[in-house]
Structure 1
Amino acid sequence: MPQTGTAAPTEYDTTEVDRSTRWPVTVLYMSALFWLLVGTVFALIASIKMHMPDFLGDYAFLTFGRIRSAHLNAVIYGWSSLGTIATLAWLVARLARVPLRGGIALLATAALWNLGVLLGVVQIMAGNMRGSEWLEIPTPIPVLFLAAFVPVIWVSLKTFAQRKIQSTYVSQWYLFGATFWFPAIYVVAYLPVYQGVPQAAMNWWFAHNVLGIWFTPIGLASAYYFIPKIVGRPIYSYYLSLLGFWALALFYNWNGSHHLVGGPVPTWLMTASITASVMMVIPVAAVAINHHMTMKGHFSLLKTSPTLRFIVFGAMSYTGVSLQGSMQALRNVAQITHFTHHTVAHSHMGMYAFFTMTLFGAMYYILPRILRVEWPSAPAIRWHFWLTALGIGIYVVGLTIGGFFQGLALNDPARSFQSITDEMIPYLELRSVAGVLIAIGHVVFAISCVRLLKRAREGLFS
């Protein structure tokens, strides 16, 4: 079996590499954490409004339409994207085995990106937003994101070009795929040429692809790096890695239009999207087998490694949400689940149970190494994991079941819309309970990060 890209990175002096990433990665991660907390507050308000519509109803900027969109953009462009860029930068340097080249430019990325998120969220809460989900931020603010991304591409390519080894690791394929795919889909989505049905098709295409070819590659790159690194063995199969990457690149970008089953969309477009979604079983199975076989015989490490605990939870969620997505793309299933809370559960399983949990795992590994101090409390890490894991579990299971019953009821012409809405209230209340658990977990994590920074500052000055 070829060894290129299969082995866990061998040991070498990482001091200079980690030192080169310290400032940009720390700033990016702490900015991401800030937006996670902001987005969590917005999410709780929006969730409570689903079963208590008059909650904070006297404030226009806190109405459901504004606060939910503000939540989405705070967590997608704030928490997730800033965390993604930080993880990408650290992995690029670690895998190249050289200090991050031009890493100081990423501080400009952090400044511009945070400014873009801040302006975008303020505009959304003021009622000045676009009508496409995940694309609500009005122009010309998105130009800030594109400008901020230029240093990301430059730093990544420059570091990779000066790498000490010529072989390429699996994680690097995903890192550079995401680096070039995201700006492409973002520019296409903001082109002022969509109206009516094409706008709906583009919106679902972008919403799927921002997860599938921006966040997913970084999540999988993290899993492919940290699992072999922590268990101390090569990834199971180079060929499965190859299959998983190229199948993802080939099939995922066709996804999205299967959410428009029954709409005035060309049949060929829906059929192509459904087919591609079903074909996603191939890369998902390849990744799942690779990760499981690499972990085989080492599952006991989940008890002692917080990084592995979060990463494996995220990897298992990736398998689950992807297989669920392939199933609900089928016409007879989509006719039940679309326009219901089932879709909300599915999206949160992807963005939170998979990506966010994986990002937590990466941060638990990376931050102590670049700051040269240990996490202050092991119990706090355990509390963080179980609160968020339990919270997202309740969230996904509750809305998946409730959403399916909701879909069956909506397809019954004898049922009134009001009676269906009333039946959903217990599921929505359960959603808020899950949100409270997740929020507490986020606060615990934020406190741990603040204490870690305090330790690092004291060590620096001493």
Structure 2
Amino acid sequence: MVFTIGTLVLVSFAVSLVALVVLIWAISRSQMRFTQADARTIFEAEERGEVLDDPSTRPEQTDSPQGRGGDSLVPANCRRLILFIFATATLWLVVGSTYGLIASLKLHLPDWLNGSAPLTFGRMRAIHLNLVIYGWLSLGLMGLALWLIPTIFATQLRLPALAFVGAIILNLAVGAGAWAISTGWTDGLEWLEIPWQIDIFIALAVFLFVIPLMVTAWHRQVKHIYVTGWYYLGAMVWFPVLFIVANIPNLHVGAQQATVNWWFAHNVLGLWLTPLGVGAAYYLLPRIIGKPIYSYSLSLVGFWALALFYSQVGIHHLIGGPVPTWVVTLSVVQSIMMFVPVIAVAINQHPLWLGNLGAFRASIPLRFVAIGALMYTAASFQGSLEALRAMNSITHFTHYTVGHAHLGAYAFVTFVLFGGIYYVMPRLVGRVWPLASFIVAHWWLVVVGFTIYFVSLTLGGWLQGQAMLDPARDWMESMELTIPYLTGRSVGGSLMVLGHFAFAVNMVAILVGRGAERKAGSGLLEAEVAARPGQ
């Protein structure tokens, strides 16, 4: 069988049909017969009350999630698993963002660190991308899922040993992938640089995460699947398919390879990181604030619209490329249709925290999640407009696109993950974060740093695109005019990396036992003491 562009589109259409079948099944099984009362499912699954909930600085709120029978939903062995994942993900964040900063500096300091091939921009930038996508975001979000899925489904995690093996394999595969790229052994495609021989182990690791989460969902103790569950379950179905199809060796060549490349690259954000990030925000925002979302019906409309419209969005990266015009046009149409799920999420999430600014000011975890959700709206709107040919002709091949990518992957997904870890970690160890000033420093460093980073690349990229389209201007001029903006990118990136180090120091401190403990509860410390013989 020859895998053509038409076949790819047909597969995407088939996936949409499958989503439609699942929707019909859900309606027939009463999963879609919902009322606003279903928005309180997360409060009913865990008896914690509808109050401001910020365990990052309140020792009395650092108790482990409790089921209806009083049993811990996240027992000690599962907590150790999640702690291991968060710790290693933080390590990859620090290492990966350091690589990114060095790559940024080399754009305006090209003679710096040029003594060997592993230190060249091309390799360091690719290492940065893969470390943060797979080592930080994918691993960290899986850790958050291992906590959230049992909590919203009011049941303990099943098969945690599989997830632990998956975490070890994923860490080893990420490290091996970075080493391979540094030696020049890559598949040579953006977002698909890691050799397919190593990708096999990444796929295996993902399956070892997905199986326990799916089995846990199957044994849920709540009748209704809260919207977070839909986003998470969708991501766990979509990503393995995306990753395996895109990494099959020698299957895609030429223009077909480019099409599959951007089908994967865009969908790894839209059908993997986005549902994990949006799903987490749908839990964390109402949970921390202590109030349900505005419209539960709209939240599920947003999920199904994402499932039906996103799969073919990425081909707009090939506008002007050697692919059929109708394929690109279909992608542009799908990109504009993405306004539907994004507006649905915006209506639900933004009024919730904007109407509770007192909680927003009091809780830094809430700030991270709320601003992350806001940046999801901004990144999606920008992406839909960027897909239009008139705008794409200016921004394509410029630094503007890099700014847009970081608006989604960093300001949206990473911010939500920061907020999630700040909320979950104290409930895993039974202690608040020991260095409150470092949390504040982390917040301001990454907010100010990213603002400088994004504004610099957006302005510089737009001017770069206009210069490249002007036949009266020399091409070198379009490059030289970006230097001040690339310097701004490095300044902003430096602040962001400093924020990551503040986050990592706090992570180490809480892991080694610093921080005020709660007086009672079934946390990790109490569970270990109770398990000792003779006590």
Deviations 1:96-137 (A, max 9, x none): 112211213211011100111111100000011111111001
Task: Please give the residue correspondences for 1:129-208 in structure 2 after superposition, counting only pairs within 5 Å.
Answer: 129-191=186-248, 192-208=250-266
Gaps of at least 5 residues in structure 1 are none
Match of 1:83 in 2: 140
Q: Identify the range of structure 1 (286-295 vs 12-21) with the bigger mean alpha-carbon deviation.
A: 12-21
For the aligned residue pairs, the C-alpha RMSD in angstroms reads: 1.6
Q: 1:456 Cα deviation (Å)?
A: 6.4
Specify the SS of the correspondent of 2:175: helix
Task: Please give the residue correspondences for 1:221-260 in structure 2 after superposition, counting only pairs within 5 Å.
Answer: 221-260=279-318
Alignment partner of 1:17 is 2:73: yes
Specify the SS of the correspondent of 1:74: helix
Gaps of at least 5 residues in structure 2 are 1-33, 48-63, 67-71, 518-524, 530-535
Q: 1:377 Cα deviation (Å)?
A: 2.0
Alignment partner of 1:378 is 2:436: yes
Deviations 1:183-241 (A, max 9, x none): 00001111231111111111111111000010000111111001111111121112211
Distance 1:404 1:174 in 2: 34
Match of 1:283 in 2: 341
Closer/same/farther in 2, CA of residues 457 and 360 from structure 1, 3 Å limit: closer
Match of 1:326 in 2: 384
Distance 2:449 2:152 in 1: 34
Match of 1:431 in 2: 489
Alignment partner of 1:411 is 2:469: yes
For normalisation by structure 2, the TM-score amounts to 0.84
Deviations 1:333-390 (A, max 9, x none): 0000000000000000000000001100000001110111110122211110110011
Distance 2:38 2:300 in 1: 9
Specify the SS of the correspondent of 2:471: coil
Distance 2:425 2:162 in 1: 20
Distance 2:208 2:322 in 1: 41
Distance 2:326 2:478 in 1: 33
Q: Identify the range of structure 1 (293-302 vs 306-315) with the bigger mean alpha-carbon deviation.
A: 293-302
Deviations 1:406-443 (A, max 9, x none): 00100111211212211110000010001110010000
Match of 2:510 in 1: 452
1:127 counterpart (177, 184, 209): 184
Distance 1:258 1:373 in 2: 47
Q: 1:458 Cα deviation (Å)?
A: 11
Distance 1:343 1:353 in 2: 14
Specify the SS of the correspondent of 2:224: coil
Distance 1:412 1:193 in 2: 39
- Is the 8 Å Cα contact of residues 47 and 428 (structure 1) preserved in structure 2? yes
- Is the 8 Å Cα contact of residues 18 and 369 (structure 1) preserved in structure 2? no
Match of 2:369 in 1: 311
Quote the sequence identity (%): 45
2:411 counterpart (353, 357, 365): 353
For normalisation by structure 1, the TM-score amounts to 0.97
- Is the 8 Å Cα contact of residues 4 and 169 (structure 1) preserved in structure 2? no
Larger Rg: 2
Report which structure shows greater RCO (CA 8 Å, sep ≥6).
2
Match of 1:396 in 2: 454
Specify the SS of the correspondent of 1:136: coil
Q: 1:321 Cα deviation (Å)?
A: 0.6
- Is the 8 Å Cα contact of residues 4 and 167 (structure 1) preserved in structure 2? no
Deviations 1:69-114 (A, max 9, x none): 0111111111111011101111111011122112132110111001
Match of 1:298 in 2: 356
Distance 2:356 2:516 in 1: 36
Q: Identify the range of structure 1 (268-277 vs 378-387) with the bigger mean alpha-carbon deviation.
A: 378-387
How many matched pairs?
Answer: 462
Deviations 1:239-265 (A, max 9, x none): 211110011011111111111111111
Match of 1:117 in 2: 174
Match of 1:440 in 2: 498
- Is the 8 Å Cα contact of residues 443 and 499 (structure 2) preserved in structure 1? yes
Q: 1:146 Cα deviation (Å)?
A: 1.5
- Is the 8 Å Cα contact of residues 119 and 141 (structure 1) preserved in structure 2? yes
Distance 2:75 2:502 in 1: 27
- Is the 8 Å Cα contact of residues 387 and 438 (structure 1) preserved in structure 2? yes
Q: 1:457 Cα deviation (Å)?
A: 10
